[in-house]
Structure 1
């Protein structure tokens, strides 16, 4: 299982939110480049990055940092936040991003997802961000009203092979992932599922691995020191 330690960027700083609430934003590391280097030293080979400025306002302001991480860290960069057009995709791939995560635009413009998959194939992932089983958009501020399982099935029908599933109620809460919703998702979606939100201790990684998931994102638990990244990587196995 792939382990993806996370860096969320806002105003070029490494920050975390609690349950996606921008009012709770706080800085958790001084240097994003050094943080990415520490991830690599712990054995990670992927990194999940989110441009929170892009997610909230549709304007990405952290491209220079993403580019440096992609070029210097040795990590494959998965990036989300404000990717809403083919021009946006071209821009982020020029930064050296390995996989782009389409979030809100997958709800508002499914034709964009279809075109993106046709052009870039498995380098496209879709974020399925849910609260109480409903898909949220615009930096988790707006409720689409869509059931997350039906939405996932529609994305698979368009050829999307990777989904980043986040249960907002667990994000940043160190309360454990939403295992039940992940299990339901596995029943209807046959592609690669990355679990995001709530991972807090090594036992969470062990359970996600046992479920047969493709990947797991580690965010606040790393910065809070409740999980050893190197141990999580060892539990995940070969990182390729």
Structure 2
């Protein structure tokens, strides 16, 4: 199981939000400093989120993300603000290893197929954000149907992997909710990375038992509830 420390970027700073609300942001300094810290502690992959992009400014933080690409040597997956094929292609051309397509895929699932054909399915991850068991889109403001159905649709369109985020528990540091994850795992065969609520080693043990391919660590890592070296030792 791959561990992805999160480096969420808002206004050029590394932050953590609670359930995606901008007003809850806690700042943790320069994104590169956080990235290098997690790499120094053993991370081999990072989960980058362009929050300004998610909030509507797709071109924001280009210089910051470019710095992460050039100054690190680990696997980078990037989400936030991928509103079009050109957005995704631009980031892939810049050097991101994998892009995460969320709302754009829900609006037009065939975008997954076209990007996978052009860049390879291993570089295209579909974002499956869930709230109350339904897919949450447009900044988690709207829902659009059963999450497992959407997960299967994205897989059928050619997504090489899925990022499942449970909005209901994201940022609360109160643990994962197993049932929504299990429904997605039952619906697809492609690798699934889980984000949202991972707060204890027990959560990671459960995810491993469920067979997930990876886990994103955010708030609990930044506030000290989780220790990255201890987690990496545990899963190995």
Does 2:17 match 1:17?
yes
Report which stretch shifted further, 213-222 or 172-181: 172-181
1:3, 1:236 within 8 Å by CA — same for their partners in 2? no
The alignment partner of 1:57 has SS state of coil
Task: Measure, in 1, the Cα distance between the counterparts of 2:83 and 2:50.
Answer: 13
Task: Measure, in 2, the Cα distance between the counterparts of 1:65 and 1:11.
Answer: 10
Match of residue 36 from structure 2:
37
Q: Quote how far apart the aligned CAs of 1:58 are.
A: 4.3
TM-score computed with the length of structure 2 as normaliser: 0.95
Task: Measure, in 2, the Cα distance between the counterparts of 1:59 and 1:98.
Answer: 18
User: Is there any run of 5+ residues in structure 2 with no aligned partner, and where?
Assistant: none
- Spell out, residue by residue over 1:184-219, the C-alpha distance to the aligned partner (whole angstroms, 9 max, x if none): 211111110101000111221122112221000000
TM-score computed with the length of structure 1 as normaliser: 0.94
- Spell out, residue by residue over 1:39-72, the C-alpha distance to the aligned partner (whole angstroms, 9 max, x if none): 1111111000111111111423111111111221
Q: Quote how far apart the aligned CAs of 1:129 are.
A: 0.5
Stretches (4+) displaced over 4 A: none
Q: Quote how far apart the aligned CAs of 1:22 are.
A: 2.1
RMSD between superposed Cα atoms in Å: 1.2
1:42, 1:233 within 8 Å by CA — same for their partners in 2? no
User: Is there any run of 5+ residues in structure 1 with no aligned partner, and where?
Assistant: none
- Spell out, residue by residue over 1:3-35, the C-alpha distance to the aligned partner (whole angstroms, 9 max, x if none): 0000111110111111112232231x1121111
Match of residue 73 from structure 2:
74
1:70, 1:76 within 8 Å by CA — same for their partners in 2? no
Match of residue 97 from structure 1:
96
Match of residue 113 from structure 1:
112
Task: Measure, in 1, the Cα distance between the counterparts of 2:202 and 2:66.
Answer: 33
- Spell out, residue by residue over 1:115-157, the C-alpha distance to the aligned partner (whole angstroms, 9 max, x if none): 01111221000110010011111221222x2210110111111
